[in-house]
Structure formats: C-alpha cells, structure tokens
Structure 1
Amino acid sequence: MTTMTPTAIAVDPGARHTRIAHLAADGTPTLADLPGTVPGEGLPTAAGAGGHHGAALRSAYTVYRERYGTPEQVVVVVPQHDRAEHARRATDVLTALHGTDPLPRLRALGTPHAVLALLRHAGTATGTRYTVCDLGATAAEVSGCALAPGTVAVTGSARHAPADGFGAGLDRALLTAVGLPDDEDGWVALAAARAEDGAARRLDLALEQSARHPGRYDGIMVHRVGGRDLGVGAVRQALERLTTGLDSVLDTRPGTPVVTVGGGARFAPLVRHVTNRQGTPVELPEGTDPALAAAFGAALVAAGRIDPADRYPYAVLVDTHRTAGGAPRAEELLICPAGALEPGGATVFAQSEGRPVRIRTRPVGASAVRPVHVHVRAARDGRPVPVGTLRIPAAEGARFHVGVRLAVDGEALLVLHPLGSGTPWEYPLGALPTDIEGARS
C-alpha cells in the first residue's frame, strides 16, 4: 500500500497515543508516517500532557506540520461527552499554532459519528439503531445512535470514567501485578504478551476456571509479561473492576447492536462481556483495529469520501406573531428544516416560497418586547422540545431575516440579519437537544 503527501487528515488525540490518519493512494485509511510513531498506535502522548486532549493535539499536529506542512482539511475526533467544549479547545489549539498563517478547514467530529462514518462507507451500517461503545484509556463512553437518510442522531450518551482511567486502569493493575512500571515499555510488553499465539485461548480457559472456583486457580499463569508471570487472579480482579462500571453505562442502551471501539476493544474478555450483555458486536470493516476505528472514519470524512451525517437531525422553529384583522395571532415559524444545519456551516435562514422571511423584533407601536421562544421538533406533528427563551432588544420598525447557525463546536446561535446591510445580531442558544425521540410522530 503506497502513501502520498496527505492534504486531508484526521486527528484523534488520546491519553496514551494520538492517531493522525489519512487516505493512502488506494483510498484505504492509514496512519500517517511520522517520526516517533509507534506502529499500529500513533504518536505517544507526551508524559507532561497528563491525558489532556488539547496538549496531545498540539504536540502531534506540530510533528505533522514539520513533516508535511499545513494540510487543507483537518477533522479532529472529540469525545461525545462534553463535545462542544472539546471541539472549542481543539479549534483554539489549532488556531494558536497557525498564528498569522492561513488555517486549514477545521471540523470537529464526535466519536460516534466518526465510527459510523467508517461503517457507512463500508456499507455495513444497514440498521437504524446502533450503540457505539468506546472503550478508551480514560473512560468508557456509550452513545445511542439513530440513523436516517442524511443524518446520524446521537440520542443519548453515558460515560464511566474512573479516577485512574478505564483501559489505563486495567493495564496499570496488570503491570503492577508483575512489578513493571506503567509506561510505554510496560504497555509494549503487555501488548506483546497478549498477541502471543494461544494467549487469548489460554486466558479464556483460565478465566472460566477462576469464575467457577473463585480463588482456587488464581495463580495459573496466563501471560509472560516482560519475563514475568501474570496470574489469572490479577486479570480477573482487574476485569471485574472494569465491567462493574461498564455495566452501569450499558444499562442505558439495552437491546441495540453495539459497535465496540477504542483500545479496550482489543481485550477479548472485555469484548466478550459486552457481547454477553448486548449480543455479538458489529464487525468493523476488513478487520480494522478497533483502536483506530474513529481515526479511520474521520479520515474518510476529511478526504470527502463520506458525509459525516452530523447535521442537526431535527427542525428548528421560533414562535412569532402576525397581525391579522387588527389583532395579533401566534404562529410558528420554521427557521430551518431537519438536516439543514451543519457544524461550522453557513447560517440557514427562514424562507417562504424561496425567499427569506422578513420579521420585526417588535411590532410597530408595541410598548414591550415579547419573549422569543425557540424549540425543535422531530416531525411536523411531533411534540416541540424547548431550546430557550430570548429577549431581543427592540428595533422600532426595523426588519430582519431570521436564521440559525451551528458553530464548529456544535453551539447554536440565533441570527438576525438587518435587511440591506449591517452587522448580524447573534444570540447564543447553547447545544441543541438531540435526545428527543419521544417527540417523533
């Protein structure tokens, strides 16, 4: 597989490794060839970063630019939990690194959308509901996803983040059990032990025996890590610690096909636990390493091979008043239809018969400003879900076009653009709700 100088890249900053991916000449996602890259893992996150995504992004992207220069498009993978804040930080980091130099096109993409982009590109995401289970070093995050033509809605997300990490906590416990340090050398030794022929089967059998007879077989050696024996008892205790917390988040998404990704999805006993609860996980395309799934899906998005489908899946509306027969009448104005809003995209303005709708912020002669209620809805006859109430300064007689836009971090803003010329007024609405399945007709 040959590579070329990447012009569109994806960056997945992690607590241990940052993956920078692009498409090879044959269109296959692959990790960028960078100095210091650990094969199959990416660039190690600097020890001083402490798992901070912004610091990991800054370090890895600097290495990339030194090797290849500035790309045209950068898609940054961010956790679904607190997605807007992570996206904002990523944007700030890259903007600061470029200084006065031209910026590439930037886009933040949540892990569920990145993973499902990989499946959708391969044609294997044929259902309408999926649960993306991201088993990372820091946390386990479970996101419910609903697929419809053109959009993937994240309908809810739950997260289990132990103080000492999720996958990182497992590895730390196992390395401690054999007296090895929790560092890059220790991780490599542990990975090598797990990859040995027969290691997975040996561990499975030992765990079954240990479960049937607690304590009796704890000393059975299952791995030789850095020349030291690792017993099944240490593995079972570390695994039970993880699965207890993982169950609490899996309980929020019962019954839907699950896609297991992240470094923890390499650990067969953990995946088997998910399988016993949720059923057989959805297979990743062509044996994709689960730790690289999000980066590879985002690389396909960056290269324009698949639409990320992260447009806002519901309609946005605002309550208005129209004077009819000398009396005000409450009406509902559709600002933008479902699937029209794209993070970092242009403002979508309310239209009627192909022309922007003109509104006033206060009727002529009115003595007070009416509150403006904004809501979203899954279908025209569905239940409206409130977003917020705004009080907009009065502008006697002035007319505006009303619209809404999504910033690159996913925050929504109501936009009033004066007719003719003038600076648009923008009012923050925060993150638009996504878990409104009860509003569907």
Structure 2
Amino acid sequence: MTALAIDAGSRYVRLARVAPGGPEPVELPGAVPGEGLPVPEAARGDRAAALRTAYDAYLRHHDAPARLLVVVPQHDRAGHARRAADALATPPARGPAPDVRTLATPHAVLALLRHTGGLAPGRYAVCDLGAAAAEVAVCTVTPGAVAVAAASRHAPDDGYGDGFDAALLTRSGLTPDDDTRRALAAVRAEPGAGRRLALVLDRAARDPARFETTAVHHVAGRPVTAGTLRAALPLLTDGLDRALAEALGPGRTAPLALTGGVARFGPLRPHLDAAGLPLTALPDGTDPAHAAVLGAALVAAGRVDPADRYPYELWIGAHRTEAGRPADRELRISAAGTLEPGGPPVYAEDGGRRVGVRTAPGRPVRVRVTDPASGAGTPLGPLTLPGGGETDRFHVGVRLAVDGTAALILHPLGAGPPGAFPLGTLPADIGTDSKEVGP
C-alpha cells in the first residue's frame, strides 16, 4: 500500500515517500534538484492550486497512492486543511481516490525527530523559515502527544526569505527576478560555499575595513560582498527574533528545530548561539527544507504516530450523593492523549461505559486541565450550563477543533441534538503556566 506526503511552499512543492532505507524525496521531471517542483507562476500565492498541480504531475508518472498526507502551516491550519481537501477532491484519472489527510508543519517535523529517537519529552520551538514567512510554533511534547502551546508568524509584504534575497540582489546591482534568484540559489548550493561564507563573514566582523568588499558569491557575473550580506542579514535575524519572542514569551526559551529553505543559511546559527538559544539537530543528512515532508512521509506510511493529540486530562466539577449526603467530586472527561484536533468528541466514562449526568440551572461548573505526570493544572471557565428536568440525563464530553479550540458537549440520553459550550483554546504548556494550580 503506497503512501505519499506533499508540502506545498511558496516557491517549491516537495513530495516524499518511504523507501526501504527510510523517507526520501520523490524526484519528478521538471523538478529542481534538491528543491522540488517549482510552483508555476499562475499558482503563486495559491497553495491549493500549487498542491493540485504537483499532485497531477506525480500521477503522470506513478499510480495514485492509497494514502496522501498534506503538510499545512500551523497558521490558519483549519483553513489550509479545508482548502487542501477541496483541491484534491477531484478523483485521479486512474486508480482509486486516496485517503487525504493533513498534518501541521510542527507535528511533521517533530514526527521526524521522534522517529529517530532525537526528541525527549519537553518544550520545543519549531521554526519554519520559508520564502514567504518565518513561523514559530512552541510545542509541548509528552510520550504520547504533541500540542502547540503558542505560535507566531512574521510575514513581510515582500516575503521573508524572498525579501532577503531581493535585498542582496538589488544591492549587488542585479534585478531580483526568477533567473537571478535561481542563480543565487545555485551558487549557495555549490560545494564549499557555506564554509567560504562563514569564513568571510567572520573576517568581515573582525576587520570590516579589510573584508567588507570581499565577494562571498558571484551571481550572473556580479559580486555579492560580505558588506552587502551583513547589511541585509537583519532582514532575517530581526524577523526571526520577533517571531521567537512572540511565541516563547518574555524571558523564556526552548530548543529550536530550524526547518524550511532559509534554515539552510549558515549565518543564522551564530546569531542564535549568541542569543543563547539552543538548537535541536535534525537527523544526519537531513536538508532542513525537506524535514517536514520527510516526517509527514513517515506518518503517511504508518512508521510513526503523528501524536497530534492533546497531552493533558480534562476534568469537570460534579456533585454526587454518597451515603445520603451531597459530595463535591471531579469527573474526568478525557484522558491525556485522547483528544484529536478535528476528531470526534471524547466522553466521560466509568468502567468503559459513558457516565450519565444531570445539570442544574444557573450553577457555575468548574472545568480543569491537569498534567497527569506532575499533577499541575489550570482552570477553565467556569461554565454555566442550562438546567434539565429531574429525569433528564446527558453524556458529557469534549470536542477539540482543528484550530485548537474546544467545546464541552452535552449529549442527551434521549431524543434531541447535543449541545456545545465553548471552552476556548486549551492550554498546552501548563507545566510552566503562570496560572498553574495544585491538584
């Protein structure tokens, strides 16, 4: 049974599948070596159109996969997932329609790291550095689940990586069109180019007067100097710093996993080292631009659990009559790792059977999230639920949407539709949350 992963970026669409030696990029005619299929000019800015075009190109040379996993950005994840499903809804010309699913970039990258054993439980920041934007997702990783605790996006009007490249080319007397951008990418990929770049920049930092005019690249016959590069570098570093500060919060840090095409750019690492931000290494030989699609290929093939589930327990305050007297109790609605974004509601159970509850009008109901490992927790709500009749009973559950927001569900045991009561965005980093309370 075949499985395929696709990651549609601003300039390239990358495809991957699992081979006997592990996940690997799928090479198709027309692809740029080491990059992927170029996004056609007509599809620029339309991720769904680029996705469909790349998938059609794949089908011209391969049978339709049984499973198709599409990598989508964390930013507006629900919208991207919906548009991806719509773009691939048309059945292929041959073979059965694939089972299309989506996985957010941070989960795909962390799946790759978890598969290789390079990820201990904790807090990580996945930095997806691309042509259009720098996106940071701070994730809480537990043995069975990964949740996004915070996210940020820095997307200049002229692009993130694209804006930097345009500045380099313009300041070097070149027009930043597709041809010169490809030429710049080609010289960066030459053997030894990274080492030369690091050496010249280090010398220019120590002795600007002597080395600022030293060429680090030659593009279309014109030099790109160390001084030009140093002057443009803040377009990358300042934008990344802002995105990290917004996602991590004041005075906080986490190991960084750098992915995306811009993550190949060596000068970013000394900047992060100087800021005291530790890096989480990708598996040996992994191109950062392909990290997400390779991780997604492992998930699509069933080699690794995506762990795209909520890592904590949800409890609701309840009252029970014990020995003829009312007693305050808490009822666990969902265990850690059972809620999936976009999945079905999870209901409170006792001994494998759903628990029937009665509601009282006007009485605030406490809802709490707890970490079963540490016992730490944080309250949600409270909620005020509608009262039912003396004989009315409900199953109580919770549903998690693709965008991370949750709702408490009351499902009548008799006739009638279930009711949904918003809980907001569930906290995903309660181990260090300032609102942390004891059990």
Shorter-chain TM-score category?
0.7 to 0.9
Asked if structure 1 preserves the Cα contact closer than 8 Å seen for 2:282 and 2:288, the reply is: yes
Matched, 1:378 2:376: no
1:211/1:270 CA distance change after superposition, 3 Å: same
Asked if structure 2 preserves the Cα contact closer than 8 Å seen for 1:129 and 1:144, the reply is: yes
Aligned counterparts, 1:283-298, within 5 A = 283-298=281-296
SS in 2 for 1:317: strand
SS in 1 for 2:254: coil
Residue 20 of structure 1: aligned partner: 15
Residue 201 of structure 2: aligned partner: 207
Deviation of the 1:355 alpha carbon: 1.5
Aligned counterparts, 1:46-195, within 5 A = 46-68=40-62, 70-95=64-89, 97-98=90-91, 104-126=98-120, 128-195=122-189
SS in 1 for 2:339: coil
Aligned counterparts, 1:267-282, within 5 A = 267-278=265-276, 281-282=279-280
SS in 2 for 1:398: coil
Q: 2:254 aligns with which of 244, 253, 256?
A: 256
Residue 312 of structure 1: aligned partner: 310
1:141/1:388 CA distance change after superposition, 3 Å: farther
Asked if structure 2 preserves the Cα contact closer than 8 Å seen for 1:373 and 1:390, the reply is: no
Deviation of the 1:67 alpha carbon: 4.4
CA distance in structure 1 between the partners assigned to 2:83 and 2:389 by the alignment: 35
Q: Which runs of 5+ in 2 are unaligned?
A: none
1:288/1:223 CA distance change after superposition, 3 Å: same
Q: What's the CA shift string for 1:211-265, capped at 9, x where partnerless?
A: 2344654332221112222122221111122212222334437553322211111
Asked if structure 2 preserves the Cα contact closer than 8 Å seen for 1:371 and 1:389, the reply is: yes
Q: Which runs of 5+ in 1 are unaligned?
A: 1-5
1:62/1:218 CA distance change after superposition, 3 Å: same
SS in 1 for 2:299: helix
Deviation of the 1:70 alpha carbon: 4.1
Matched, 1:433 2:427: yes
Asked if structure 1 preserves the Cα contact closer than 8 Å seen for 2:160 and 2:235, the reply is: no
SS in 1 for 2:281: coil
Q: 2:4 aligns with which of 9, 14, 20?
A: 9
1:70/1:128 CA distance change after superposition, 3 Å: same
CA distance in structure 1 between the partners assigned to 2:60 and 2:238 by the alignment: 44
CA distance in structure 2 between the partners assigned to 1:268 and 1:94 by the alignment: 36
Count residues with an aligned counterpart: 428
Asked if structure 1 preserves the Cα contact closer than 8 Å seen for 2:378 and 2:437, the reply is: no
CA distance in structure 2 between the partners assigned to 1:395 and 1:66 by the alignment: 62
1:58/1:174 CA distance change after superposition, 3 Å: same
Q: 1:419 aligns with which of 413, 418, 438?
A: 413
CA distance in structure 1 between the partners assigned to 2:99 and 2:409 by the alignment: 23
1:397/1:68 CA distance change after superposition, 3 Å: farther
Residue 401 of structure 1: aligned partner: 395
CA distance in structure 2 between the partners assigned to 1:316 and 1:191 by the alignment: 49
Deviation of the 1:300 alpha carbon: 0.5
Q: What's the CA shift string for 1:130-174, capped at 9, x where partnerless?
A: 332222222222333333211223333333322222111111222
SS in 1 for 2:88: helix
CA distance in structure 1 between the partners assigned to 2:127 and 2:231 by the alignment: 22
SS in 2 for 1:219: coil
CA distance in structure 2 between the partners assigned to 1:215 and 1:393 by the alignment: 78
Deviation of the 1:129 alpha carbon: 3.6
- Letter of the 1:436 partner, please give it: I
My pick for the range that moved more, 135-144 or 425-434, is: 425-434
1:16/1:400 CA distance change after superposition, 3 Å: same
Residue 302 of structure 1: aligned partner: 300
1:328/1:180 CA distance change after superposition, 3 Å: farther
Q: Percent identity?
A: 52
CA distance in structure 2 between the partners assigned to 1:36 and 1:79 by the alignment: 25
Deviation of the 1:306 alpha carbon: 0.6
Deviation of the 1:317 alpha carbon: 2.5
